[in-house]
Structure 1
Amino acid sequence: MFGRLKERLTGGAKRLSGRTDLLEGIAAASVLGGAADGDLSDDEAMVALDRLKAHEALSAAFTATQIEQAFDKQAARAKQGLAGRIGLRREIEQVGSSASEEDREMLLVIAIDVVCADGDISEAERKALNTIGQAVNLPVARYLE
């Protein structure tokens, strides 16, 4: 069993390696979820970045610096008002239109982890998750039950 888990992780890391478009889409989803209440606070940003860097497949496929750079790029977008939020959604939609179901699911689950980090999902956060789910063509309710 451990061998299969290791093979899946290694395979996932190989599959993700060099896919900066996917990394940026995942970072955008994390930022969009974290900023759902109006802005991305420093605490929310730290939680989101920690979740990204702690993710097994992401941390095996990308360096901490690559993850931080992708996150910082998307976090800067969140501070650009409506235009920034549209940019975040477009980044997520690009993943939704080109990635495998497994990759789209990873994006959504990481966004859910970021939103649930404080133990509560506000109405604004639920709306953001639904937007993310629609962009990647996955039903959010299936993951929240």
Structure 2
Amino acid sequence: MLASLKQKLLGGASRLSGRTDALEAVCAAAALVAAADGDIAEKEIAATLKAIKANASLAAAFDARTIETVAQRMLDRAEGGRVGRMGLYKEIEQVAADAEIAELVLLAAVDVSEADGSIQDAERKVLEEVAKRLGLSLASVGL
């Protein structure tokens, strides 16, 4: 059982290795959720980084500095008004055809939205839009 889990994690990491589009999509979705209320708090930045680094496949495929750099770039774009947010949705759409990565993106966004203990209405709207652009539903990840 443990060997099977380890193989799955290693397989996920090698599958993501070099796939910066996957990392960018995860960070874009997380940034959109963090900015849902119009302001990105330090707590939301920390939750974004924690959610991304907590994913074993991403953490194995990318070093912490790369994750932090991409996450900060996406958080900056999320604060860039409508143009910045639309660009983030485009990042997400680029991985929609890959079901595993699409699910990874949505799960990371959900983790960020739940960082403070509950999902706010504005965050739920963003999650619904992310799910829609990925061809998923929130029900597919237990919401």
1:122 is displaced (CA, Å) by: 1.1
Q: Specify which structure has the higher proportion of helix.
A: 1
**Equivalent residue for 1:127?**
125
Runs of 4+ in 1 over 4 A off after TM superposition: none
1:60 is displaced (CA, Å) by: 0.4
Q: Distance in 2 between matches of 1:39 and 1:90?
A: 21
**Equivalent residue for 1:94?**
94
Is the contact made by 2:25 and 2:91 (CA closer than 8 Å) also made in structure 1?
Answer: yes
**Equivalent residue for 1:26?**
26
**Equivalent residue for 1:142?**
140
Q: TM-score, normalised by structure 2?
A: 0.96
Is the contact made by 1:17 and 1:62 (CA closer than 8 Å) also made in structure 2?
Answer: yes
SS in 1 for 2:114: helix
**Equivalent residue for 1:81?**
81
What's the % identity of the aligned pairs?
45
Structure 2 residue identity aligned to 1:141: A
Is the contact made by 2:35 and 2:79 (CA closer than 8 Å) also made in structure 1?
Answer: no
**Equivalent residue for 1:108?**
106
1:142 is displaced (CA, Å) by: 2.9
Structure 1 residue identity aligned to 2:127: L
1:64 is displaced (CA, Å) by: 0.4
**Structure 2, unaligned stretches of length 5 or more?**
none
**Structure 1, unaligned stretches of length 5 or more?**
none
Q: Distance in 2 between matches of 1:65 and 1:12?
A: 20
Q: Distance in 2 between matches of 1:102 and 1:91?
A: 16
Q: Distance in 2 between matches of 1:39 and 1:87?
A: 18
SS in 1 for 2:3: helix
Q: TM-score, normalised by structure 1?
A: 0.95
SS in 2 for 1:95: coil
RMSD: 1.0
**Paired positions, count:** 143
1:40 is displaced (CA, Å) by: 1.4
**Equivalent residue for 1:56?**
56
**Equivalent residue for 2:9?**
9
